[in-house]
Amino acid sequence: MTRKKMLFPFLLLISILMTACSASSSGVEGPEFDKAQTEFIQELSVENIFSSLSELTKNPRVAGTSSEMQAAAFLTAQLKSEGYEVEVQPFDFERYVIPESHGLVVEDFPGPLSPAPFQYSVDGNVDGQLIDAGYGLKKDYKKIDVKGKIALVAVDKTAFYELVLFASEAGAKAILLYFPDELEIDNWTLGREHFKDFIPALALTYDEGTKLVEFLKNGTPVSAAVKIKGARIDKAASQNLIATKHPTSETDDDIILIGAHYDSVDKAPGASDNASGTAVVLELARMFKTIPTNKEIRFLFFGAEEEGLHGSEKYVSTLTKDEIKRSAAMFNLDMVGSADAGDLAIQTIDGSDNVVTKVASKANEALNGDPIETDFGDRSDHTPFHNAGIDAALFIYDPVEEWYHTPEDTIEKLSKARLVNVAKIVGTSIFELTFSGTTKE
């Protein structure tokens, strides 16, 4: 008999014994909180969370603006009033400034044209002959001369940025990309990686594009003018905030990290994304200030997440090798209060379990009766921590609400029960870790 086969009945016996021993008085199996954790849960204040939320959501908190700074000042003041010293970690980041105006004129073309710029469209004010360049692939430019001209290209399967680069390499001065039928032309991005090599690019609808193609078939050369004004990449300043709770008894030198980004996108009060995570981390900082712990806990508030995880990248880049080694767990809270989102999810960069997911899943089981399965997800500040080798996970209600990143992301759309649920799960998990001696290998 193989070892595996013998193991199964043994495990069955153990699990029957464990079930018999661990069943609570209510007859429900599974992990339970101890007295201290139960008291912790009772003392969490949803009123505190909500009052922080109403302060934070007064204005959008766009990275690099004075309103992001005001949010940082509010958080700093709150943390100081709880007795924390607050480290302000300033940093610069590069951001794309959208054009203040854009336009397209095609000589003698009957009918209106309403082009849209892309995120990362470059500035330009160019005139030239408009040329139908087919699908705008390299092979097309072997037959069609676009040098010094404006290329009209049908979008098919090739990435937008590649079409822009192909036209640029072929010598075009600007490019008009017309989209497949039914595809909206607003809010697309070319990505920033090749920004320096782009030529001015505008998007047109299928209807506009095909009408222009017909118009060009006339045979007579058609001149056009493309104008994009005010688009650029410039430097902006943001800041992270760090409040550290030192261990009360120095039984090990692990560090537990918990963070949230406090910036928002433009025009959005960013209640769910991410005043929610910010307010919960603030409340947990208040709670843990007076609780004895055997590990250091760092409460982190990241700036400029929405522009590309700049705050968390900066913070991780300043950690020493020793600090990284000592960092046992990183909890990232982003979008933790929406009443319109799905269930609570725990996401990691590789989709697999780690210290954070295991302890939090157990906490959820004790609190709500079920463990939480770990999902894949890389769209927030846990990413740089994972990349540095730290066990990190994102807490998020998923699938996310449809109105995220819009002016509709307001405090009225949040659920107190959902916010406090995350505060309980993450709080009791940190509680568990700070006394469990989970020293990193």
Q: Which is nearer to ligand BES, 263 or 432 (CB)?
A: 263
- Angle subtended at Cα 382 by Cα 63 and Cα 409, rounded to the nearest 5 degrees: 50
Residue 308's binding partner, choosing from ligand BES, Zn ion, none, with beta-carbon cut-off 5 to 8 A by kind?
ligand BES
Cβ proximity of 310 and 240 under 8 Å: no
Q: How far is the CB of 271 from Zn ion (least distance, A)?
A: 11
Q: Which does 71 bind (CB under 5 to 8 A by kind): Zn ion, ligand BES, none?
A: none
Beta sheet of 232-245, edge-to-edge order: 86-97, 232-245, 296-302, 255-261, 327-333, 392-398, 343-348, 374-376
Distance from CA of residue 172 to its chain's centroid?
36
- Bridge partners of 80, per DSSP, are none
Q: How far apart are the C-alpha atoms of 349 and 300, rounded to whole Å? A: 19
379 binds, among ligand BES, Zn ion, none (CB under 5 to 8 A by kind): ligand BES
- In whole angstroms, the minimum distance from the beta carbon of 270 to Zn ion comes to 8
CB 432 within 8 A of CB 359: yes
Q: Are 369 and 414 in contact (CB under 8 A)?
A: no
Selected binder of Zn ion within 37, 274, 338, 383 (CB under 5 A): 274
Q: Residues 126-138, buried b or exposed e (16+ Cβ, 10 A)?
A: bbbbbbbbbebbe
Residue 215 contact partner, candidates Zn ion, ligand BES, none, CB within 5 to 8 A by sort of partner: none
Q: What's the distance, CA 20 to chain centroid?
A: 44
DSSP-assigned letter for residue 296:
E
Candidates 71-79, 173-181, 265-273, 370-378: pick the segment binding Zn ion (CB under 5 A).
Answer: 265-273
Tokens matching residue 231: 């688009």
Residue 391 binds Zn ion (CB under 5 A): no
Q: Is 334 in the site for Zn ion (CB under 5 A)?
A: yes
Least distance CB 36 / ligand BES (angstroms): 32
One-letter identity of residue 156: D
The reply on whether position 273 binds Zn ion by CB under 5 A is yes
In the complex, the smallest distance separating the C-beta of residue 240 from Zn ion, rounded to whole angstroms, is: 15
Nearer of residues 209 and 259 to Zn ion, judged by Cβ: 259
Which residue is at the shortest CB distance from ligand BES?
Answer: 379
Binding mask 215-254 for Zn ion (x = CB under 5 A): ----------------------------------------
Using CB under 5 A as the binding rule, whether residue 307 contacts Zn ion is answered as no
**Could you tell me the smallest distance in angstroms from the CB atom of residue 235 to ligand BES?**
18
DSSP string, 153-182: EE-SSS-HHHHHHHHHHTT-SEEEEEPPTT
Residue 309 interacting partner from ligand BES, Zn ion, none (CB closer than 5 to 8 Å by kind) = ligand BES
Nearer to ligand BES, 221 or 399 (CB): 399
Query: Contact residues for ligand BES (CB under 6 A)?
Result: 273-274, 305-306, 308-309, 334-335, 379-380, 396, 400, 404
What's the closest the beta carbon of residue 335 comes to ligand BES, in angstroms?
A: 5
Q: Is 94 exposed, middle or buried (0-12, 13-18, 19+ CB in 10 A)?
A: middle
- Closest contact distance (angstroms) between CB of 278 and Zn ion is 10
Cα 83 to Cα 416: distance, rounded to the nearest angstrom? 26
Residue closer to ligand BES by CB (options 229, 267) is: 267
- Applying CB under 5 A, the residues found at the interface with Zn ion are 273-274, 334
